[in-house]
A and B are shown apart, each in its own frame.
Chain A
């Protein structure tokens, strides 16, 4: 009974079914909105609008299908099947790669060799000469002229094992990564420091199941965005570490310290608004991190006033309309709407240095540093995953480009000359090998001449 189960679990048919099942799961995950792919606010909005549907999908774990128990079970069976199949194949693969006397077949009677030829020699062929000729064609020679076996890329079948082994490496790396991963977003303004405090993250970070959150600390010294024709072409962030060393992080170039990476994701503006009284005394002031790029509206509170803010990076006002000419930060301005107790008290667009008056107070837009959103990630296991990638690619190239070719032959004396009977075959590419075999025969014939 156990043998039958093991046989079923290690069958190639099951491999095919599992690949199809995983493919179906992936396709389902593409179709049904996934919680970890959709933006949080979009997902929550969808959930709010269709509670019944979303609850049902969540109950069936279809909104997190890639980590659902069903998918994990499929993966478990996949790797179990892979292990059993590879275990069964190891002896056959090792047997294929080794030379044994049984491989010394008569080419005139051997089955499975698709290409056959007779080559005439003017004189008997010594073993040394034959070995040289065959080796010249890229084969390894075994046997004697009376019966020989030649093989090219004998170890190629091992690449099959290596390719499938790479899956285990990727799996192992993925597991290490999953359990050791810490991640979270933090917004840091120019001049502001971040020392790894968990409460500073925008929302509770994902904590590692094994290990500790990152201890790395940074100060954001300067944020330099660049846009060309409305396209953000560069975003450079100068960081200073605990030791006072400067580092440059950009999009696609995170700042790395050990297993921790600070990935630059996006920026916003952190304008300084100051409220003064009639005598010019400062009553309140704050750098407010606003998410207003791309035409979004944001709000903040200062001295009890609730202020809605709209941002123009490159402000213009032609009398009739106001807006922004481009996304470049050439002439930043804020359109502010000051509200209190449900009433709008004042509304005005302020360039840097401008003020608006509300209830005898002056609200001034003083300066505008940036804030940068860094995605802080600490994880292990990546090297193992990348090693898996590398191994898979090397194994594929090895297996399919350096595939195995075999020849069997026999040199038979005829009068004062000799005839070589030759038969050849290869893995995978019969037609391609036929051309190669003919080339080998020509080489042998030329050397004979």
Chain B
């Protein structure tokens, strides 16, 4: 990282962390007054985050498209932007940050531990299809993260309701019905963009490797995560799964996407390690 990017990155991460802490405080102590300030903190963090990306582009000469750090940087940015957008459209949705922020902090934190050196663009990445593939990947990631956020909020409120602890604090949130529908909408949006991502990736793979599908771990895992979300849509549309059951799917299915983006190499390496393949 360049010094400028480093400062901006860590400043953004700090603001996100403070906001995440604020959300925890708000939920635990049922204090909704702090919410507007949290959004300001997230917005400020997003601005710094944007400048960090700009600094990286300037230093590197190309967009952050490829490494784990790039994925963390851009993936986090897309999730934050998606969160701010939905909050701007509907204030009651600002509670979604309680779930999306920790995800952003984790992936940005993981990314920064994965060698964020400035590198020129490798020949293997110089393809028009890469840009389409990665762009739609990040959009779908952002949408899935929002679905997860809505799922977490739904479950929190449901838990409070079951315990008889549903206080006035929850009045500021969207209704359970609305949250349930939002989960589905974000999930569907993510699913469609995910389909474009997979298709663009296959077309790119044909040019790069001569094969549009070779059951490479990343390809396979992207199909697994897409199938999981497809299954979720099936369960909703054809079998009427709603409410808590659907919320759990929205929350757990994100893990397949996180593994797809960040963990496949770990899984593949650990499996090779387990089977003693050198």
When chains A and B are docked, how far (Å) is the Cα of A38 from the Cα of B271? Answer: 12
Q: Which of A250-258, A298-306, A315-323, A343-351 has 4 or more CB atoms under 8 Å from chain B? A: A250-258
B57 interface contact, C-beta 8 A? no
B47 interface contact, C-beta 8 A? no
Beta-carbon contact of A397 and B192 below 8 Å:
yes
- From the candidates B126, B188, B221, B272, name the one contacting A252 in the complex (CB within 8 A): B126
- From the candidates A23, A31, A36, name the one contacting B271 in the complex (CB within 8 A): A31
> DSSP majority for the A interface?
helix
- From the candidates A183, A251, A375, A377, name the one contacting B123 in the complex (CB within 8 A): A251
When chains A and B are docked, how far (Å) is the Cα of A226 from the Cα of B121? Answer: 12
How many whole Å from B196's CB to the nearest CB in chain A?
6
How many whole Å from A182's CB to the nearest CB in chain B?
11
Beta-carbon contact of B210 and A30 below 8 Å:
no
How many whole Å from A192's CB to the nearest CB in chain B?
21
Beta-carbon contact of A49 and B231 below 8 Å:
no
The interface bits of chain B over 186-218 (1 if a CB of A lies within 8 angstroms of the residue's CB, else 0) are: 001101100110010011101111111111110
When chains A and B are docked, how far (Å) is the Cα of A290 from the Cα of B231? Answer: 50
B172 interface contact, C-beta 8 A? no
Beta-carbon contact of B277 and A33 below 8 Å:
yes
Point out the residues of chain A lying under 8 angstroms from B178, CB to CB.
431
- From the candidates B127, B211, B276, name the one contacting A49 in the complex (CB within 8 A): B276
Beta-carbon contact of B231 and A26 below 8 Å:
no
Beta-carbon contact of B210 and A31 below 8 Å:
no
B239-278 at interface with A (beta carbon < 8 Å): 239, 264, 267-268, 271-272, 275-278
Chain A residue nearest to B120 in the complex (CB): A228
Beta-carbon contact of A16 and B119 below 8 Å:
no
B234 interface contact, C-beta 8 A? yes
B228 interface contact, C-beta 8 A? yes
- From the candidates A15, A37, A228, A392, name the one contacting B234 in the complex (CB within 8 A): A15
Point out the residues of chain A lying under 8 angstroms from B220, CB to CB.
26, 29-30
Contacts A12-B238, A15-B234, A233-B120 hold; do A26 and B223 have CB atoms under 8 A apart?
yes
A137-186 at interface with B (beta carbon < 8 Å): 174, 183
A1-18 at interface with B (beta carbon < 8 Å): 12, 15-16
- From the candidates B192, B204, B211, name the one contacting A377 in the complex (CB within 8 A): B211
A380-431 at interface with B (beta carbon < 8 Å): 382, 385-386, 389-390, 392-393, 396-397, 400, 428-431
Point out the residues of chain B lying under 8 angstroms from A231, CB to CB.
119-122
> DSSP majority for the B interface?
helix
Interface size range on A against B: 35 or more
Beta-carbon contact of A386 and B203 below 8 Å:
yes
When chains A and B are docked, how far (Å) is the Cα of A263 from the Cα of B205? Answer: 11
A356 interface contact, C-beta 8 A? no
Chain A residue nearest to B230 in the complex (CB): A19
B40 interface contact, C-beta 8 A? no
A210 interface contact, C-beta 8 A? no
Point out the residues of chain B lying under 8 angstroms from A252, CB to CB.
123-124, 126-127, 204, 207-208
B181 interface contact, C-beta 8 A? yes
Point out the residues of chain B lying under 8 angstroms from A428, CB to CB.
184, 188, 237
- Residues of B near any A CB (own CB < 8 A): 119-124, 126-127, 177-178, 181-182, 184-185, 188-189, 191-192, 195-196, 199, 202-204, 206-217, 220-221, 223-224, 227-228, 230-231, 234-235, 237-239, 264, 267-268, 271-272, 275-278
- Residues of A near any B CB (own CB < 8 A): 12, 15-16, 19-20, 22-23, 26-27, 29-34, 36-38, 42-43, 45-46, 49-50, 53, 66, 174, 183, 226, 228-229, 231-235, 250-254, 261, 263, 265, 375, 377, 382, 385-386, 389-390, 392-393, 396-397, 400, 428-432
